[in-house]
Amino acid sequence: MAMKIISMAALVVVVLASSVLQSTYAATYTVGDATGWTVPNPNNTEFYDDWTDNKTFVVGDVLEFSFTTGRHDVAEVTETAYDNCNTTNPIVRYTTGPASVALNRTGEHYFICTFDGHCSLGQKLSIEVRTGPSTAPTPGSTPNPSSSASALVATISLVFMSIALALFC
């Protein structure tokens, strides 16, 4: 009888652990949400700074920059280039919208539009990326399906192990 209670307790622990694992996945953020990646309203040049509020970016997350090809682009730049809206020598530049940028390292990341005058009008984004994983998507983000699939495989494995533990103990 004591062995059965221990087995049931182990089953409960494994099921709880699997639910925690399932809730950890990367997120895809649409930069600017419905507004997308564009020159913000002249009365709100802090639009993208405001957009980052209440968001935690981690390694594995993806930024989706939604813009019209030929009207905007997105370039990852250094902090100095970001501060000065310097469009020469970007780290990487995406010219076809929408552009997906995987966040694959921790630290500060800086993005600007290199079209003439757009950055100085507020089309720039600065984020801090931390080690992950995300604990849950924040408003304006969606789960990254490949990471969700990995979490699902881990959950299924834990469920099978817990069933085997319950049957053989």
Evaluate if pTM is beyond 0.85. Answer: no
What is the distance between the alpha carbons of residues 161 and 168, in angstroms, rounded to a whole number? 11
- Do 45 and 19 lie in one domain? The reply is no
Residues 69 and 120 in one domain: yes
Residues 111 and 155 in one domain: no
Q: What residues does 162 pair with on adjacent strands?
A: none
Three-state secondary-structure class, residue 59 = coil
Which residues, other chains included, contact 3 with Cβ-Cβ below 8 Å and sequence gap of 6+? 169
Number of helices and strands (H, E) in the chain?
4, 9
Beta bridge partners of 101: 63
* Same domain assignment for residues 110 and 82: yes
- Mind listing the pLDDT tens digit for each residue in 136-166? 445 454 554 444 444 444 455 545 555 555 5
Which helix (H) or strand (E) element contains residue 81? helix 79-84
* pLDDT classification of 73: cutoffs 50, 70, 90: very high
- 13-49 per-position pLDDT tens digit: 444 454 444 345 689 999 999 999 999 988 888 999 9
* Same-domain check for residues 42 and 118: yes
| Burial tier of 103 (Cβ tally within 10 Å: 0-12, 13-18, 19+) | buried
CA angle 118, 75, 101 (to 5 degrees): 125
Together in a domain, 34 and 80: yes
Residue among 21, 15, 94, 16 at smallest CA distance from 62? 94
Q: Assign residue 89 the CATH number of its domain.
A: 2.60.40.420
Enclosing domain of residue 20: 1-25+144-169
Helix axes 2-22, 145-168, angle to 10 degrees: 180
User: Considering its fold, how many domains does the chain have in total?
Assistant: 2
Per residue in 101-144, pLDDT (tens digit) is 999 999 999 999 999 999 999 999 999 999 976 544 454 545 54
